[in-house]
Structure 1
Amino acid sequence: MFEIAREALGVLHEGGALGVVVVTGVHGSTPRAPGSTIAVCADGRAIGAISGGCLESEAYELALARHAEPEPVAATLGGEPDLYRPGLACGGAVDVLAFHVGPGDREIVAALEASLEDGEATLTLPGGHRIVRPRAPRLVIVGAVDFTPALAAAGRALGYRVLVVDPRPVFATPERIPAAHEVHVAWPDAYLRGLEIEDGTVICVLTHDDRVDVPALEVALASPAGYIGAMGSRVTHERRLARLREAGLGDDALARLRSPIGLDLGGSSPAETAVAILAEVLAARTGASGRPLRETGGAIHPRPGR
Structure 2
Amino acid sequence: MLDIAEELNRWCEQGRDFAVATVVATNGSAPRQPGAALAVSADGTAIGSVSGGCVEGAVYELCQQSLQSGEAALERFGYSDDDAFSTGLTCGGGIDILVTPVRTGGSPVDSVNRETLAAALAAVVVGEAAAVARIIQGPMQLMGRALHLRCDGSYAGTLGSHPELDRAAAGEARALLDAGRTATVEIGADSSHCGRPIVLLVESSVPPPRMIIFGAIDFASALAQVGKFLNCHVTVCDARPVFATAQRFPTADEIVVDWPHRYLDSQKLDGRAVLCVLTHDAKFDVPLLQRALKLPAAYIGAMGSRRTHLDRLDRLHEVGVTELELARLRSPIGLDLGAHTPEETALSIAAEIVADRRGGSGIPLTGAHTTIHHGDTPSAVGHIDSAA
Please report the TM-score for the alignment, with normalisation by the length of structure 1: 0.83
Matches within 5 A, 1:181-196: 181-196=253-268
Matches within 5 A, 1:249-288: 249-288=321-360
- Shift of the 251–174 alpha-carbon distance from structure 1 to 2, 3 Å rule, reads same
- Shift of the 19–214 alpha-carbon distance from structure 1 to 2, 3 Å rule, reads same
Read off the aligned partner of 2:145 and give its amino acid letter. Answer: G
- Shift of the 212–17 alpha-carbon distance from structure 1 to 2, 3 Å rule, reads farther
Contact kept in structure 2, 1:115 and 1:133, CA below 8 Å: no
Give CA deviations for 1:254-288 in whole Å, capped at 9, x if unaligned: 33221221111133344332221121112223332
- Per the alignment, in what secondary structure is the counterpart of residue 283 of structure 1? helix
- Tell me what 2:98 maps to: 97
Give CA deviations for 1:174-202 in whole Å, capped at 9, x if unaligned: 56545444443322212222323344322
Contact kept in structure 1, 2:270 and 2:296, CA below 8 Å: yes
- Shift of the 248–296 alpha-carbon distance from structure 1 to 2, 3 Å rule, reads same
Is residue 210 of structure 1 aligned with residue 282 of structure 2?
yes
- Tell me what 2:121 maps to: 112
Contact kept in structure 1, 2:30 and 2:376, CA below 8 Å: no
- Per the alignment, in what secondary structure is the counterpart of residue 4 of structure 2? helix
**Offset of residue 15 of structure 1:** 4.8
- Shift of the 45–134 alpha-carbon distance from structure 1 to 2, 3 Å rule, reads closer
Q: Work out the CA distance in 2 between the residues paired with 1:17 and 1:271.
A: 45
Aligned-residue Cα RMSD (Å) equals 3.1
Higher relative contact order (CA 8 A, sep 6+): 2
Q: Work out the CA distance in 2 between the residues paired with 1:17 and 1:174.
A: 43
Contact kept in structure 1, 2:18 and 2:102, CA below 8 Å: yes
Give CA deviations for 1:98-157 in whole Å, capped at 9, x if unaligned: 233469833323322333455431124423444331534332222333333443343344
- Per the alignment, in what secondary structure is the counterpart of residue 292 of structure 1? coil
Q: Work out the CA distance in 1 between the residues paired with 2:365 and 2:371.
A: 10
- Per the alignment, in what secondary structure is the counterpart of residue 366 of structure 2? helix
Is residue 247 of structure 1 aligned with residue 319 of structure 2?
yes
Contact kept in structure 2, 1:221 and 1:257, CA below 8 Å: yes
- Shift of the 12–149 alpha-carbon distance from structure 1 to 2, 3 Å rule, reads farther
- Per the alignment, in what secondary structure is the counterpart of residue 207 of structure 1? coil
Give 2:305's match in structure 1, choosing from 226, 233, 250: 233
Contact kept in structure 2, 1:21 and 1:59, CA below 8 Å: yes
**Offset of residue 55 of structure 1:** 1.5
- Which shifted more, 191-200 or 276-285? 191-200
- Shift of the 27–5 alpha-carbon distance from structure 1 to 2, 3 Å rule, reads same
**Offset of residue 203 of structure 1:** 0.9
Give CA deviations for 1:44-83 in whole Å, capped at 9, x if unaligned: 4432211122222222332344554443222112243545
- Shift of the 149–108 alpha-carbon distance from structure 1 to 2, 3 Å rule, reads farther
- Tell me what 1:290 maps to: 362
Give CA deviations for 1:222-246 in whole Å, capped at 9, x if unaligned: 2232321012333433443343334
- Structure 1, unpaired ranges of 5+: none
- Tell me what 1:132 maps to: 203
Q: Work out the CA distance in 2 between the residues paired with 1:276 and 1:44.
A: 42
**Offset of residue 37 of structure 1:** 0.8
Read off the aligned partner of 1:57 and give its amino acid letter. Answer: G
Contact kept in structure 1, 2:27 and 2:377, CA below 8 Å: no
The structure with the largest alpha-carbon Rg is: 2
- Structure 2, unpaired ranges of 5+: 105-110, 135-143, 147-199, 379-388
Q: Work out the CA distance in 2 between the residues paired with 1:296 and 1:192.
A: 40
